[in-house]
Structure 1
Amino acid sequence: MTELVAISHVDVPQSEVNTLVDEAVAAGYSVALHRAGRRFLVFARSAHGAVPGTEFFRAKSYISDVVLENSLHPLGDRVRHPQGSVVEVGGVRFGGGNTVIIAGPCSAETPELLLETAAQVREAGASMLRVGVFKPRTSPYAFQGLGAGAFEALREARSRYGLPIVSEIISVSELDGLLTAVDMLQVGARNMQNYPLLSALGTCDRPVLLKRGLAATVDEWLSAAEYLMAGGNERVVLCERGIRTYERTTRFTLDLGVVPVLKGRTHLPVIVDPSHGTGRVDLVHPMSRAAVAAGADGVIVEVHPRPAQALSDGFQSLDLPGFKQLMTELEPVAQAVGRPLHTYSDLQPV
């Protein structure tokens, strides 16, 4: 039986949605009302298994979308935006037929290293800078990042080099500080199902890069994205970064097959992280090329001026000549699949 999902605008008074439910029941619909974040979702079925009439629901000013699908993820379902969504971050456009290149160090070890790397990746053509200041590490004895002490360096890098910045958030308590320093917030693999954090970012006026969990299914991943969108934040980009399997040749198993799977199921842009996905610097180049060929909206790679001296993940980080070579390799692949590289020179003021 086909089910209709009517999706409310953000912060609609419940009294109005209750009236809609009463009217729908009177019209012969079987209705269930769910509140998710700052939205209401009305699940409706018409009598005798007939396809529900969408106009009844679309006529309501407080309904933003009507989805005629048996979807577990109605907010992210591709039927809402069949052409795919475009998420803008400081002049960078995820989706819309181009390939975004995000590069930078695993962690901001020093302000000087951060600025050095930013200058070099911009020169090579990267469209965004990635850098970790809060680092959730498996071992409590590993380098955990500079924390709030890096905010000033992030602001200087953004001001001096003009690259939008994405950085990971691991706690709601860090949100206010990060908002002063970065253009996009990353939810890492270990926090993909941190629902209080997702709910907080759902009400935040900042794009979110949502990485796949270490052993998350596609449905679990898309459900995490629903938390963000239910709060009203639809500027979400998904990032495949490898999942844990029995195979130990690589750090994780990079699931490139998930790129076309997601393209068929969700309107959200999808990028790939071959650095974490393989954990091997020698595989970053071929897997980046493969990700672009598979239809990814971009790649995010770790770059360090001196990987052998890196305090975290040096074994999977490209050096600066290696990143320049990667950009050269990606350009013909991106052109061949009709998704040209979106480089620093393409940035437009917003």
Structure 2
Amino acid sequence: MRAPRRSLAALGLTLALLTGACGGGGDGPSTADASPVSASERAAAAGRQLAKNTLVPLEGEPPTPELPVTVDSSDGRKTTVEDASRILPLNGGVAEIVFTLGLGDRVVGRDITATFAEAKKLPQVTKAHDVSAESVLSLRPTVVLADTDTGPKEAIDQIREAGVPVVVLETATSLADVTTRTTRVAEALGVPDAGKALNRRMSDELAAARAAVPRGSKPKVAFLYLRGSAAVYLIGGKGSGADSLIEAAGAVDAGKDAGLDKPFTPITSEALVRARPDVILMMTKGLESVGGIDGLVKIPGVGETPAGMDRRVVDMEDGVLLGYGPRTPLVIDILVDRIHRA
């Protein structure tokens, strides 16, 4: 399996727990709990919510799009959206935003990376990570939301030539991109106030998650992107996407700290020894592809790191870890607990 382009843009190629004035319900503590609730309590609540694999939309009645609007598209165009009755997001994280804004009943199809329960029954319009223009057009969308990694370009051109407005967004590779994308999606769909409300909710959720970071703890965490069946063995560095999450969880990105200035670098024993991670972070399918922790520590250099010797490995579901959407605060809650655990 090749690397997910939308989650790992650099390869060529994220709480409902908190309740606030603008937030939804859930199993977690309220956003009023800004004091450091125990990391294990927050992680347990986050785990329960992720296990449901469902989203929690904003409270209140779904917003009504005020259209038409003309917005900037990240491929250098201006796009006018006149109708948001049939929305087609071609990215899992973007789909999460649309559903959480309260517009899920308007979504007519999904990308392969939209794996949450509400999207499962929708027709899939991508094969691997390539968009099928014919599948998209068969759903008669009134607006398509893509990102700069969505392709092939010919398919996007064909959709536009058929008269369907396509709004292209920058690929999300850092925590800050979540609010930017939320704002842009909400504006493109004519619900800017709902976008502001969702951003406030996520900001409160992230603040509460960070408040649970243990004082004085600063472990070094290496993000490894592995696909054993394809012989892909990479370590993340600056701009990997995972570095932002690691830092938000109060840790140090080991690859970045070791001077790896590219998003991904082939794993070597020397690179791992230089990085000396205390914890290894991976996607679940990547860990499974090398035979679990037993297979991971057999990769040259891994077993010699502090993380390898202590078998300290944190894995999270592929579509959630780097999804960079409304569920990202859940990811931070879990990382805060698991990477700081002695």
TM-score range, shorter chain: under 0.3
Q: TM-score normalized by structure 2?
A: 0.26
User: Higher strand proportion, which one?
Assistant: 1
Q: Which one has the largest radius of gyration?
A: 1
Greater length-normalized contact order (CA 8 Å, ≥ 6 residues apart): 2
When the two structures are superposed, what TM-score results if normalisation uses the length of structure 1? 0.25
